[in-house]
Chains A and B, each alone.
Chain A
């Protein structure tokens, strides 16, 4: 019950932020250069009457405050408008592409955590050792390489040189059969229908882009794990646990890690936000059909609605992730939710 109230409170608290994002994107898109009415009437030599008709159709002839109110009403009722380039509603387009982006980002996050936690713990258990220095090196280099460069280098090494990675275009090979559309997450869909060959193909396409993103966020995660693990391992209860003869593994993995994980959880929120931004670049490098590349195409075609929808969706995803982290925080440390 208390957890539910807590979640409700957090959701309410995030409403002003979401509203702010809506208004901000609206204003941003209104000052965009280029007149979409001209852009989307039949051609460059369209008559003034035709342009006016399109403008009226899009509601662009009304005063800005009225447009904003209409937009807020539409967002509230789940209508994000229609993309002028694809001809579909933005909700439909985003819904179709969101699983691709989420699958990529979540896999990258899991991969990053899977690499960063052991590395950070190893570095903290033996501070000043060769492992510690190696981890620091990897982290320092990791933040310096832009995602689009590391992605291209990975493609060069694993696809061009060794030929072990598949063609870096999209989520599935063009000739492979796609699974029935159940959740939109290819890995889950393939697993549900029991097509393990397809599952492997999809996973193979996913490895390089996910690794690219994971390398980019490895540094903050590993650094935070190391720092927080170091301070926990120096505390009294760890000394007690050691002195009563608990195994080294148990001391580090159970008593140490559970207490050290809190700061790491906190920065996962920031890390996730960075990854959402980096999505655009990684999706472009790997021709990944996600929402990032969709928004980018719309942006370059001065198509307002998809960009607004994209930013709004980003904000919503971001709020949800923070909420999830908050709940996890309570599970990792019961003291937090009591307070």
Chain B
């Protein structure tokens, strides 16, 4: 039996470097999703990541208004310099625009700020209070920072993306220690890794993702469809877990 795929790790918009097969338009993204059998996607804008969140977030709002199957993700950052809204204003804006998930790029190579309380504390307090899922790439945060984040904000759902296939010696202890840690699947590619993780941690905290448009979504879907797990687990990973997380958002 087939089931719905809900991609939690997608972006759109022009980037400064392209590759053969690269695309940046939402039309192509939606066509690719259709081709691969992906019904819905959470999408952030590349401009929010590569340039400036306050300029990229309105662009994703405009795009998702045209497509029923795309849902917006805002890239957020601390407000202290005045270049980005403070948490109270941000949450109101998110509520007004129907944004139920956020992403951060705090590394020195990207938006370059601290995740400590003095910098991001009020932002994370607000996200945690409303149980807004926070997406972050492991390369953006590092293993020790993710440990601190999970322990300081125990009710904040944190989805670790693009973990790679060499990460289990970090992921297993972190997922055992923190019930608010989730893993995205697109680069979690150790051999029989999802079957092994499910047998230890369970399937409730694994979310399907593709990393489109940087990488192809075709293999990501094939991977989940061919998991040697019960149908109920595959359904949860493909879309059920993400639907549940979004339903728990208090905005």
> Are A and B genuine complex partners?
no
Q: Which residues of B line the A interface, CB within 8 A?
A: none
A interface residues, Cβ below 8 angstroms from B: none
